[in-house]
């Protein structure tokens, strides 16, 4: 039985912030990462929440990520923005880009943001969610170190490479929020099972020869199983083009691992597209989305992408979040 302690979202943010600063992260870089960590815990994605804080801190201390980095923004074309994260955390680089992306999307109808020399951006849907809160359709892509082999192969060439779509709803919350990796399960879940000494379900990962395995350690030495076979590989390649090739970031096959201390900064990338739905829909976008979501919700037992996270988010705001005590102890050790 895993021992847990219930914390409020404010407590999660504060603890995360103080640990990041103690490890050598600047206040301005630690704050957006701490806010995202609390939001991620609220959404019930514990594998990307506080469990990552000790890893982030270790990576600041070993130089895999520059906790003092100051991202730089350019506007090379009217509808295109680029940010060099300068081997720092993705979150402050994304924040810097969004400050200009959002008004630009409303001014022009559509705008794109490319981020390079970046790091793990955590839960991608957290970022597109924020675009939907602003009334924009948000598309997001992020690449990762290679962990998925091509169809017919066994050597990883692309990462789990998530994509996300967030569609604005009438209440300030997304009507639809898709956030999925190209693998059957996020690699962080396999890493979590490895840390806890638990087997993984068959179908999550493959051994170095391409055969299914239930041993997370073997799976981490092999490759992640793509979601839907060759279709998952296609999604991973699509995301690699968007988040790495178009952003000028490092390809997953050349990026250092997000786990461990070896290899220096991964220098991966993100790519976001923000769209003003009224610019192309003729003004009836909200009605069309309402019709789509109503048709799904009318079916007994059916649910929309993002419903589960939304329900957990509402509950967490009132009741807090149960956090693994072992994780809290690791964070408290950083604080001394």
User: What is the C-alpha separation between 273 and 32, in angstroms, rounded?
Assistant: 20
Residues 6 or more apart in contact with residue 197 via CB below 8 angstroms: none
Helix ranges, 43-85 (H): 53-62
User: What is the C-alpha separation between 53 and 91, in angstroms, rounded?
Assistant: 14
Sheet strand arrangement including 80-84: 72-77, 80-84, 110-118, 268-275, 137-142, 163-168, 174-180
User: What is the C-alpha separation between 75 and 180, in angstroms, rounded?
Assistant: 29
Residues 6 or more apart in contact with residue 148 via CB below 8 angstroms: 156, 157, 158, 159, 160, 161, 182, 183, 223, 224, 226, 232, 233, 236
β-bridge partners, 172: none
> What phi and psi values does residue 208 have, to the nearest 5 degrees?
-60, -15
User: What is the C-alpha separation between 190 and 177, in angstroms, rounded?
Assistant: 24
User: Could you confirm whether 127 is annotated as catalytic?
Assistant: no
The two three-digit tokens of residue 66, written as one number: 């520059």
CA dihedral of residues 207, 209, 211, 217 (deg, nearest 10) = -10
**Nearest by Cα to 52 from 147, 132, 126:** 126
Catalytic residue among 48, 91, 127, 193: 48
Catalytic residue among 13, 41, 189, 240: 189
The two three-digit tokens of residue 246, written as one number: 């178009």
The answer to whether the beta carbons of residues 274 and 111 sit under 8 Å apart is yes
CA dihedral of residues 81, 86, 87, 90 (deg, nearest 10) = -40
Residues 6 or more apart in contact with residue 135 via CB below 8 angstroms: 168, 276, 277
Catalytic residue among 13, 41, 47, 223: 47
User: Could you confirm whether 91 is annotated as catalytic?
Assistant: no
User: Could you confirm whether 47 is annotated as catalytic?
Assistant: yes
Q: Catalytic residue positions? A: 47-48, 189
């Amino acid at each position: 039985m895993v021992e847990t302690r219930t914390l409020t979202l404010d407590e999660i943010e504060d603890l995360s912030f103080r640990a990041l600063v103690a490890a050598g992260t600047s206040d301005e870089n630690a704050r957006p990462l701490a806010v995202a960590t609390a939001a991620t815990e609220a959404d019930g994605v514990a594998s990307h929440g506080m469990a990552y804080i000790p890893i982030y801190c270790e990576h600041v201390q070993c130089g895999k990520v520059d906790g003092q980095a100051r991202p730089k923004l350019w506007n090379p074309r009217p509808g295109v923005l680029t940010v060099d994260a300068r081997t720092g955390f993705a979150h402050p680089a994304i924040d810097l880009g969004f400050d200009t992306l959002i008004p630009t999307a409303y001014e022009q109808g559509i705008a794109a943001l490319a981020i390079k020399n970046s790091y793990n951006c955590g839960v991608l849907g957290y970022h597109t969610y924020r675009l939907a809160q602003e009334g924009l359709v948000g598309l997001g892509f992020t690449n990762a170190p290679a962990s998925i082999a091509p169809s017919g192969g066994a050597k990883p060439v692309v990462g789990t490479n998530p994509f996300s779509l967030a569609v604005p709803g009438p209440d300030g919350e997304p009507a639809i929020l898709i956030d999925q990796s190209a693998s059957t399960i996020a690699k962080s879940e396999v890493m979590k099972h490895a840390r806890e000494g638990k087997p993984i379900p068959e179908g999550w990962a493959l051994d170095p020869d391409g055969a299914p395995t239930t041993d997370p350690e073997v799976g981490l030495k092999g490759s992640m199983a793509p979601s839907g076979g060759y279709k998952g590989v296609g999604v991973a390649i699509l995301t690699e083009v968007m988040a790495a090739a178009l952003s000028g970031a490092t390809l997953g096959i050349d990026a250092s691992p997000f786990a461990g201390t070896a290899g220096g900064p991964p220098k991966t990338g993100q790519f976001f597209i923000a769209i003003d739905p009224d610019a192309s829909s003729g003004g009836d976008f909200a009605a069309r989305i309402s019709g789509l979501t109503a048709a799904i919700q009318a079916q007994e037992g059916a649910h929309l992408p993002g419903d589960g996270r939304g329900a957990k988010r509402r509950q967490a705001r009132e009741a807090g979040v149960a956090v693994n005590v072992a994780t809290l102890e690791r964070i408290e050790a950083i604080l001394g």
